[in-house]
């Protein structure tokens, strides 16, 4: 079969082989993407508009970042140096899991719960002993909004260390918070109202008011923050005013930011495997041992192959010519000095001890062959 005309000169690859190679490359690329990218809403490895990969990357450049896949890991955190982001959990925390989070906060940690319509956020707040609750209805504002009334701009910002530099929050299908005795951090304008469906317009029965959308309250030595819109963390909204600043303020006094993924859909397979290795010392030891054995095996194999090739007189004769030496009489091999010179030239990365060991091994082989002859 003739080669395709578009192939460079000297390439003797048939079209079927080229197609097969292309197919294999495509499959490998697809597997890598599948193993490293998520399509889950609020997923830390989801690069689309509804993912939170931008937030993860931004935080990782400024602070230590941990991905927590089991609430038991809260016990190993230095609480007064960490803040935990719990973004729209897909499952309800059972008593044991909620207790782990509560102990983390009581020791001095900060737990930030982002939720809007689902009940999992309220269940966690209740188990933690917090008073704030998410209303669950949709906030709308006909006067202060981003792209529509269902995306209100919360303009009432209270004076607090967690709101320094924040003038507003831009929401996307957020809900109000019933604060109880919690301190209100951010609220809507006085023109906001609550409805059951996002596209429901204002009518005479709706009450215009300022509704809290972010609160903070103490719990033991730590604090619990409730935010009525997890969408401020997604890629499409995190850079809108002043969402990124507010998220940064929530972690400003912490050295470590923890993303609690224990009750969200699974992370990408490759990321999950890396996390499993990082969290399991025994796996780290086993993988380290396997790597050492593999490197040692490869190095030993290369040494044996090199020794075998260079042991014969004929091969040494070719090496002499490559090294620029004059051809030796028939049956004569390189001297030890010549071998050292050649190996230094061919393997500049080898140290003197290694070269000496190789030369000694060659000499021993030559002596044994001479005895057999």
pLDDT at res. 282:
60
Report how many helices (DSSP H) and strands (DSSP E) the chain contains, helices first.
10, 14
Q: Are residues 207 and 135 in the same domain?
A: yes
Residue 63: which CATH number?
3.40.50
pLDDT at res. 238:
98
Where a domain ends, among 242, 258, 279? 279
Distances (CA, A) of 19 to 7, 13, 28, 37: 13, 10, 14, 27
- Total domains in the fold of the chain: 2
Q: Are residues 130 and 230 in the same domain?
A: yes
Distance CA 357, CA 199 (A): 80
Residue at 124 is within a domain: yes
Distance CA 95, CA 117 (A): 22
Q: Are residues 289 and 257 in the same domain?
A: no
Element (H, E) at 194: strand 192-195
Residue at 35 is within a domain: no
Work out the average pLDDT over 43-56.
94
DSSP structure string for 98-131:
HHHHHHHHHTT-EEEEE-SSSSHHHHHHHHHT--
pLDDT at res. 331:
46
Greater model confidence, 223 or 18? 223
Where a domain ends, among 228, 247, 279? 279
Q: For 303-349, what is each residue's pLDDT tens digit?
A: 566 555 555 545 555 555 555 544 444 445 567 787 888 888 888 88
Residue at 191 is within a domain: yes
pLDDT at res. 336:
77
Residue at 265 is within a domain: yes
Residue at 80 is within a domain: yes
Where a domain ends, among 279, 302, 321? 279
Q: Are residues 232 and 134 in the same domain?
A: yes
Residue at 159 is within a domain: yes
Mean pLDDT across the chain, nearest whole number? 83
> SS3 of 223, please?
strand
Q: For 162-186, what is each residue's pLDDT tens digit?
A: 999 999 999 999 999 999 999 999 9
Residue at 79 is within a domain: yes
Query: Which of 39-43, 173-177, 198-202, 286-290 has the largest mean confidence?
Result: 173-177
Distance CA 54, CA 60 (A): 10
Q: Say what the alpha-carbon torsion angle 101, 105, 107, 110 is, to the nearest 10 degrees.
A: 130
Give the pLDDT band (50/70/90) at residue 130: very high
Q: Are residues 99 and 238 in the same domain?
A: yes
Q: Are residues 72 and 111 in the same domain?
A: yes
* Domain housing 362: 281-372
Tokens standing for residue 45: 């490895």
In eight-state DSSP terms, residue 137 is S
Distance CA 191, CA 211 (A): 9
Q: Are residues 235 and 359 in the same domain?
A: no
């Amino acid at each position: 079969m003739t080669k395709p005309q578009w192939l460079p000169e000297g390439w003797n690859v048939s079209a079927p082989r080229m197609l097969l190679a292309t197919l294999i490359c495509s499959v490998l690329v697809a597997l890598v993407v599948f193993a490293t990218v998520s399509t889950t809403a609020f997923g830390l490895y989801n690069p689309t508009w509804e993912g939170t990969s931008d937030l993860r990357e931004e935080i990782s450049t400024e602070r230590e970042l941990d991905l927590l896949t089991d609430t038991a890991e809260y016990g190993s955190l230095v609480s007064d140096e960490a803040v935990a982001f719990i973004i729209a959990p897909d499952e309800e925390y059972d008593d044991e899991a909620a207790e782990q989070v509560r102990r983390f906060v009581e020791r001095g940690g900060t737990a930030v719960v982002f939720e809007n319509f689902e009940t999992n956020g309220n269940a966690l707040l209740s188990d933690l002993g917090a008073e704030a609750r998410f209303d669950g209805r949709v906030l709308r504002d006909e006067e202060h909004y981003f792209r529509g009334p269902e995306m209100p701009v919360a303009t009432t910002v209270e004076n607090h260390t967690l709101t320094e530099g924040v003038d507003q929050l831009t929401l996307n299908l957020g809900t109000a918070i019933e604060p109880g005795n919690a301190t209100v951090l951010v609220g809507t304008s006085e023109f906001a109202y609550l409805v059951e469906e996002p596209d429901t317009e204002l009518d005479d029965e709706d009450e215009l008011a300022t509704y809290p959308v972010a609160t903070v309250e103490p719990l033991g030595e730590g604090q619990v923050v409730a935010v009525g819109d997890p969408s401020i963390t997604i890629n499409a909204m995190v850079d809108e005013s002043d969402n990124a600043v507010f998220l940064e303020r929530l972690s400003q006094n912490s050295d470590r930011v923890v993303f609690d993924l224990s009750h969200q859909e699974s992370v990408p397979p490759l990321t999950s495997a890396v996390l499993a290795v990082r969290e399991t010392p025994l796996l780290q030891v086993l993988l380290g041992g396997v790597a050492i054995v593999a490197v040692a095996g490869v190095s030993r194999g290369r040494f044996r192959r090199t020794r075998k090739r260079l042991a014969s007189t004929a091969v040494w004769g070719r090496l002499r010519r490559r090294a620029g030496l004059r051809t030796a009489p028939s049956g004569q091999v390189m001297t030890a000095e010549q071998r050292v010179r050649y190996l230094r030239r061919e393997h500049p990365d080898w140290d003197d001890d290694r070269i000496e060991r190789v030369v000694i091994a060659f000499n021993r082989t030559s002596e044994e062959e001479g005895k057999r002859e």
